[in-house]
Structure 1
Amino acid sequence: MSGPLSPLIENYLREVSFWHVATIGRGCKLDSKLISALIERWRPETHTFHLPCGECTITLEDVQLQLGLPVDGSTLTGSV
């Protein structure tokens, strides 16, 4: 994220329990070689990484567990 969010957006993110996602990665150093290696192994047609040990994909459940997102609300579809 390039800078602080506006108070209006910050309030919306807090209201939907998504504020902590906006702060992920702040202060973390990205490993460009690792990211490049993963990009090279990504297959968009199957949505998987092709690794020496086999195929691997990231599921919504993986994202939910890693980010600690709440999943106890209604599903949102379309424009909000």
Structure 2
Amino acid sequence: MAFVITSPCRNEKSAECVEVCPVDAIHPGDDMYFIDPDVCIDCAACETACPVQAIYPEEEVPEDEEHYISLNKKYFENVF
């Protein structure tokens, strides 16, 4: 399981999540951050640090936000 950043992060990018991630799994995109599912250790530090409540465990992403799961995975397929 990895954590996923969803729509409340769009154009927010306050970066508290980046600062607390112990494995540097969170990377900036054009208008939001993304969590590398292959690096994430599921510690939940980012979830509690997020000021806009945009981060969820993959299994708990709200139904209307589920497309962010594939967006997150595609980001890392295309960037790295």
| Shorter-chain TM band | under 0.3
Q: When the two structures are superposed, what TM-score results if normalisation uses the length of structure 2?
A: 0.26
Whose relative contact order is higher, 1 or 2, with alpha carbons under 8 Å and at least 6 apart? Answer: 2
Structure of greater Rg? 1
